[in-house]
Structure 1
Amino acid sequence: MSDIHWPEEVTLVLMEEPADVAARLASDVAGKLADALHKRNRASLAVSGGSTPKAFFEMLSSAPLEWARVDVTLVDERWVEAGDPASNERLVRQHLMQNAAASANFIGLKQPGNFGGSGQVACESALQGLAWPLDVVVLGMGNDGHTASFFPDAPELSQALDPDNPAKSIALTPPSQPQRRVSLTFSALNAAGFTALHLKGHDKMETLEKALDNLADVRAMPVRAFLGRSVSVFWSP
């Protein structure tokens, strides 16, 4: 790991225990949200799914914030109903929207309507209710170098990564994935005040090292789009 050339914009939080990383991330995110609430009426947080953030969610849920003034949404979502085991909304409601955070305002990406059509229009409309730009974004990363639902094989990837795309969300159909996806766009994510990349495992560090070898080739590993800007990497083995 000492041989990795980290861009100056990347802040590292590397710890041996996943629980320590989760606690540090929860503390930092709570601090950023508190700062945002001092400056304006509402604060906004976008989080990712998967197994890695569960402990982080549970720790953050007890943070002493004015949660009723916090809007929570997802970085991305599978186009499945909220009760589906594959739903990121289900995960967030179970692990984050509890304790003090139960009073936060949650806005899901899976909305009524058809995929890529009326459902996408409803998603875009729902997202207008958030406090923009986002105050905090917590990303994950797959071993193929995707983050959010920016999969390398998604036909819609160029539009999703377009920094000038005015949309907040986009429907994606990566052939490698069993479900269709909806994701916040890069332009929506990139404007966030604080961006964290939350990772666990040596395989993820190897993927990150590979991504750092050629930051220019964003299409091959879309996580690279965030590694050339201010981002905090939270990692444990």
Structure 2
Amino acid sequence: MKTPKLDLPSGIETHFSETPQEVAQQLADTVAEFLRGRLHGAERASLAVSGGSTPLPFFQALSRKTLDWGRVDVLLADERWVDETDEDSNTKLVKENLLQNNAAVAQFLSIKQSASTPEESLGAAEAELSKLMRPLDVLILGMGNDGHTASLFPDAPELAHAMSVETHNALAAMTPPSQTHQRITLTYALMREARFMALHLKGEDKLETLKRACSKPNDMLKMPVRGFLKSGLRVFWSP
């Protein structure tokens, strides 16, 4: 495979492979090793993941890794406001693909609570995350072709608040007109401090989006993924 050329900011690592399965295994190996290291010196470790089809092989590979999963807190970076039985539910995706095998004993912290809207549920969801040790240990993000990541959508009226580094909130309700469902997302202020951060991508279109994001790195409200394109990020990609 010809290595793609990207003009990334300094300090960003790239991990490119021929297939999604190879990338998923590399990412699972790296994350498991990092979590083991954290658990040597910390009471608990945290793992925040994203939904969609791209991370499925990563979830399945990671679920089989040997580590002290009972001391790992798993949460979503964002969620659609749908019932857990809905096929669009990221919670359903994580429970069926990551919280299996060895990882079945991990503690899942749900950002999807019972209120009818994300806004009404923020208090309960923030209380759920009060158990979380901060900063996050591991954050795995995806990216849309509009430059969104988690549920930080460019067209969401709440974006400026969700992207503010001044907010003390862990979560924000999001209502992007471009999306079918309302959303809830971890805030940029919380996510940007993660000890280990990876961007997991698949497809040539995502490389083109990443190139566009790198062209104007400071315009974060136009493409929120730009807020994470900094030293320490690891990009995992396959065609």
Between the aligned partners of 2:193 and 2:41, the Cα distance in structure 1 is 17
Within-5 A mapping of 1:75-86: 75-86=77-88
- 3-state SS of paired residue (1:223): helix
Report how far residue 3 of structure 1 moved. 4.3
Alignment check: 8 A CA contact 1:215 1:228 kept:
no
Within-5 A mapping of 1:42-61: 42-61=44-63
**Alignment RMSD, CA only?**
1.1
Q: 1:220 to 1:108 in 2, by over 3 A?
A: same
The aligned residue for residue 13 of structure 2 is: 11
- Pick the aligned partner of 1:225 from 224, 227, 231: 227
Report how far residue 4 of structure 1 moved. 2.5
- 3-state SS of paired residue (1:26): helix
The answer to whether 1:20 aligns with 2:22 is yes
The aligned residue for residue 196 of structure 1 is: 198
Q: 1:22 to 1:39 in 2, by over 3 A?
A: same
In structure 1, stretches of 5+ residues that fail to align are none
Report how far residue 133 of structure 1 moved. 1.1
The aligned residue for residue 129 of structure 1 is: 131
Within-5 A mapping of 1:34-113: 34-113=36-115
Q: Which deviations, in whole Å up to 9, do the C-alpha atoms of 1:15-47 show, x marking residues without a partner?
A: 111111000000000011111101111000000
Between the aligned partners of 1:92 and 1:117, the Cα distance in structure 2 is 23
The answer to whether 1:162 aligns with 2:146 is no
Alignment check: 8 A CA contact 1:120 1:171 kept:
yes
- 3-state SS of paired residue (1:82): coil
In structure 2, stretches of 5+ residues that fail to align are none
The aligned residue for residue 175 of structure 2 is: 173
Between the aligned partners of 1:151 and 1:193, the Cα distance in structure 2 is 24
Alignment check: 8 A CA contact 2:118 2:183 kept:
no
Q: 1:3 to 1:23 in 2, by over 3 A?
A: closer
| % same residue | 49
Amino acid at match of 2:117: F
The answer to whether 1:145 aligns with 2:147 is yes
The aligned residue for residue 185 of structure 1 is: 187
Between the aligned partners of 1:236 and 1:196, the Cα distance in structure 2 is 14
Between the aligned partners of 1:167 and 1:144, the Cα distance in structure 2 is 25
Between the aligned partners of 1:197 and 1:2, the Cα distance in structure 2 is 16
TM-score after normalising by structure 2:
0.97
Report how far residue 2 of structure 1 moved. 5.1
Alignment check: 8 A CA contact 1:42 1:70 kept:
yes
